[in-house]
Structure 1
Amino acid sequence: MSDFDQLTQSLARNLKRRRGELGLTLDALAARAGVSRGMIIQIEQARTNPSVGTTVKLADALGVSITTLLDEEQGPQVRLVPPEQAVRMWSTSTGSHTTLLVGTDSRGPLEMWAWHLMPGDSSASDPHPDGTMELLHVTAGELTLVVDGESHPVPAGTSAAFEANVPHSYRNDGEEAVDMTMAVSVVPAR
């Protein structure tokens, strides 16, 4: 079975399990996540691999990290994630990409990401649930962070923190690649 097939199977199994744990019907999860019922059925039956945006919406609606939805198994107290097991979630033909390095659901979902954003590329995100925080640190280039329509230049060596319950995006308006590390803390579903 390919890595892609394993990812699809893990997502199907974990989405269905978590939805059941919360007692959510397909319609309730669809309404909560803003994702069609048909798409959720396809994901739970491992017939499709959704976009990053859809996966984020489902994780947010279930109050878990993307890592939890993609994990093959819940591991021991200490879980090491070697580079070859980090999950590439988004990429462009110009070389931009994001990689989910590690995540946990202890005391609410928490994820750590590595970003590489080529000149001229950008990535937009829908609002996350109230209380979701994002922390980022730019290590190369200058990021243009747009939060609720307001642009903030974030040069190398600078960190930023913001509540991500509004539309936000990450842009590289410069001439060199932007590298950054980002942590996302999501408030657990109630």
Structure 2
Amino acid sequence: MTDLDALTQSLARNLKRWRQERGFTLEALAARAGVSRGMIIQIEQARTNPSIGTTVKLADALGVSITALLDYESGPQVQLVQSEQQVRMWSTDAGSWTSLLVGTQAPGPVEMWQWHLEPGDESASDPHPPGTYELLHVTGGELTLIVDGTPHRVPAGASATFEGSVPHTYRNDGPVPVDMTMAVSVPPVR
């Protein structure tokens, strides 16, 4: 079984488990996430690999971290995630990528991400649930962070935080790659 097959199986198993634990029907989860019922069925049957956007929407609707959907739930006091266990969630032909480094569920999902954006690349995100906060630190290049239509320049060495309940985009307008680390905190489902 390839890593992608294992990821697909894990996502299928965990999506169904979290949906059932929350008492959501397929229709209810589809409505909450803005994802079609058919897509959820395909994911739960391990017949498709959803986009990062779809995975984020499902995690947000369930009130869990992406790591919870991918089997990286915390168990022991200290959870060590080796580099080969980190999950590449998004990439482009130009060489940009993002990896989910680690996450936890207490009290709501908290995730840490590593990003690499090649010149000219961008990644747009749909709004997350109200109360979701993103914190980022740029270690190389200069990030153009667009939050609710307003661009903000974040140079290497600088950090930013914002509420992610509005559309936002990470873009590299510069001539060199942008590298950054980002943490996302999502409020628990009530």
The alignment covers a number of residue pairs equal to: 190
5 Å matches for 1:27-176? 27-71=27-71, 75-176=75-176
Pair 64,73 (structure 1): closer, same or farther in 2 beyond 3 Å: closer
Q: CA–CA distance in 1 between the matches of 2:3 and 2:171?
A: 30
Percent identity of the aligned residues? Answer: 77
Deviation (angstroms), 1:79 = 1.0
Q: CA–CA distance in 1 between the matches of 2:176 and 2:111?
A: 26
What is the root-mean-square deviation of aligned Cα atoms in Å? 0.9
SS in 2 for 1:144: strand
Partners of 1:10 and 1:72 within 8 A in 2: no
SS in 1 for 2:7: helix
Deviation (angstroms), 1:75 = 3.3
Partners of 1:119 and 1:175 within 8 A in 2: yes
In the superposition, the TM-score normalised over structure 2's length comes to 0.98
SS in 2 for 1:7: helix
Q: CA–CA distance in 2 between the matches of 1:74 and 1:9?
A: 19
In the superposition, the TM-score normalised over structure 1's length comes to 0.98
Structure 2 residue runs of 5 or longer lacking an equivalent are none
SS in 2 for 1:27: helix
Give the counterpart letter for 2:29 in structure 1.
L
User: Which residue is equivalent to 1:184?
Assistant: 184
Deviation (angstroms), 1:73 = 6.2
Structure 1 residue runs of 5 or longer lacking an equivalent are none
Q: CA–CA distance in 1 between the matches of 2:115 and 2:46?
A: 27
